[in-house]
Amino acid sequence: MLSNAVHIKKTRKQGILKLLLNLFFIVLVISIFLPIIWLLINSLKSNNELFNNSLALPEKLLFSNYVEAWGKGLFAYFKNSLIVSSISLILIITISALLAYGITRFNVKGKNIIFIIVLGGMALSEQVALVPLYKMLQTLNLYNTYFAVILPYIAFRIPFTVFLMRAYFLSIPKELEEAAYIDGYNSFQIFYKIIVPISKPIFASCAIVNLNFVWNEFLFANVFLEDKKIMTIPIGLMTFQGDMRANYTVLLAGIVIASIPMILIFLLMQKQFIRGLTAGSVKG
């Protein structure tokens, strides 16, 4: 009888804990989705509807707000972000993957010191490096060009990306590579034909994390880009706000458009993203 009573009490506590945990997650989900829903609803309204009652549903869905936002300069900012993000992401992933593979597989003297130096980059604040980078870019005549932001993005994202990739590569059995060496593969062929295909989860994880940073980065883009023709989405939206003072619903539509790529990419790659972050987390 006593053991049954203890078991019932324990089960009741677990049930209450589970209920509280579920309630917490429900509140968390609501707090995340409410601003998104508010943004979507108001991006389809007129300005009068927005100011009269921002919580009400629109009387008429004004998809013309999105057309107007796209036609008033958002297309150019979107294109610039695509160019900057694509070049930055390709170089970040490529350089980091080669560096992480070399650190984990080659018996190079001082490779641990190299890894520590690379990780040291994670401790460097963007704000601290702002003035030196500004002077360097001006000296190299790169200021106010795409590479004024691409190069800092690559430099600041390589340390964290190497950290993630190294942990994943350590979880890959070396026997796979040893068998490939016996078959006559060289190191580059092993990396390209064996390591890369089985490392898709970590590549996807690093791609999403870095793309989120590059796509939304504001500080470097605000300081290093002056020409409206090469401004990226975050800076473009700031200038867009000045241009659209009297038309806030069009501005909200622009914010929605700017958010769509990251949302779609995460939805398409979420399984790989989770696998990449969890795999290899024990080793390293």
Mean pLDDT score of the chain, rounded to an integer?
85
CATH number of 71-278: 1.10.3720.10
Section 20-29 average pLDDT: 90
Section 261-267 average pLDDT: 84
| Distance between CA atoms of residues 88 and 155, nearest Å | 10
Instruction: Give the SS3 label for residue 96.
Output: helix
Section 66-72 average pLDDT: 86
Which amino acid is residue 106, in one-letter code?
F
pLDDT at site 154: 94
The answer on pLDDT for 15 being more than 50 is yes
pLDDT at site 6: 61
Torsion of CA 131, 135, 136, 139, to 10 degrees: 170
For the stretch 157-170, pLDDT in tens is 999 999 989 988 88
Torsions phi, psi for 218 (to 5 deg): -115, -45
| Distance between CA atoms of residues 92 and 162, nearest Å | 9
| Distance between CA atoms of residues 133 and 128, nearest Å | 9
Instruction: Give the SS3 label for residue 163.
Output: helix
pLDDT at site 284: 44
Model pTM score: 0.82
Contacts of 114 (CB under 8 A, 6+ apart): 103, 108
| Distance between CA atoms of residues 107 and 167, nearest Å | 17
Which tokens in the block code for residue 280? 């290899």
For the stretch 215-236, pLDDT in tens is 999 999 999 998 888 999 988 8
Section 21-48 average pLDDT: 89
